[in-house]
Amino acid sequence: MEQAIQFNKLYQDISESLESAQGDLSSLTLDNQEGKEKVSGIVAQLATIKSHFDSELGLLQENAEWENFVIAFFGETNAGKSTIIESLRILFNEESRQNLINSNIDDLNKAKQSLEEHVVVVKTYIEQVALKQATQYQSLQNEVIKITDIIQLESSLRIKKKNNINLLVGALLGTGLTSLCWIMFGG
């Protein structure tokens, strides 16, 4: 029976709101004739709407069975029927709907906790991989430095050896030419 009182109050509130809006608009003072005409037209429309609403409300109050208030929704697929029903379930705090929401919150919290644990595992793995790569990069860099030192040492040894060979060849050529000149010119 409480539902009947709630619905009657809802209908009464709507009727009173329409009457209040009608009164507020009627009390407006406008100097502009066109503005006055527009406001009068709106007030007349609100009066028509209120009158129609009140007559429909009377029919509902006469024919309503408040013990089990049933509303049927019908229409095409994706017209929004389920959305309206779910909205009403939430609006009127339906117990089974609230239990479902609470259950989903628990599931969401469990999923969040599981995801956070996985994030920690992945973060640790990425840190390990990054450390391993950094270690390998440092090792490679050290090897490159060693090879560079070896190449520089070998290069300087080759240059010294080449210089020594050039000196030896020069000395031999100089000695050979000197000897040849002695022999040829009878020195």
Alpha-carbon gap, residue 47 to 19, rounded angstroms: 8
Please give the backbone phi and psi of residue 65, each rounded to the nearest 5 degrees, phi first: -110, 105
Angle formed by the axes of helices 33-63 and 2-26, nearest 10° = 170
Per domain, the residue ranges of the chain are 2-112
Please give the backbone phi and psi of residue 83, each rounded to the nearest 5 degrees, phi first: -65, -45
The string of pLDDT tens digits covering residues 74-84 is 889 988 898 98
The pLDDT confidence band at residue 104, using thresholds 50, 70 and 90, is confident
Mean confidence (pLDDT) of the chain: 83
Alpha-carbon gap, residue 148 to 140, rounded angstroms: 12
Least Cα distance to 57 among 6, 3, 1, 10 occurs for 10
> Is the predicted pLDDT of residue 115 greater than 90, yes or no?
yes
Q: Do the Cβ atoms of 98 and 38 come closer than 8 Å? A: no
Please give the backbone phi and psi of residue 185, each rounded to the nearest 5 degrees, phi first: -100, 0
The pLDDT confidence band at residue 67, using thresholds 50, 70 and 90, is low
> Is the predicted pLDDT of residue 68 greater than 70, yes or no?
no
Q: How far apart are the first and last CA of the chain?
A: 148
The pLDDT confidence band at residue 127, using thresholds 50, 70 and 90, is very high
Q: How is residue 5 written in tokens? A: 């009182």
> Is the predicted pLDDT of residue 126 greater than 90, yes or no?
yes
Alpha-carbon gap, residue 172 to 164, rounded angstroms: 12
pLDDT of residue 122: 93
Higher-scoring residue by pLDDT: 20, 93: 20
What's the pTM value of the predicted model, to 2 decimals? Answer: 0.34
Alpha-carbon gap, residue 152 to 150, rounded angstroms: 5
The string of pLDDT tens digits covering residues 8-41 is 677 778 878 888 888 888 888 888 888 888 888 8
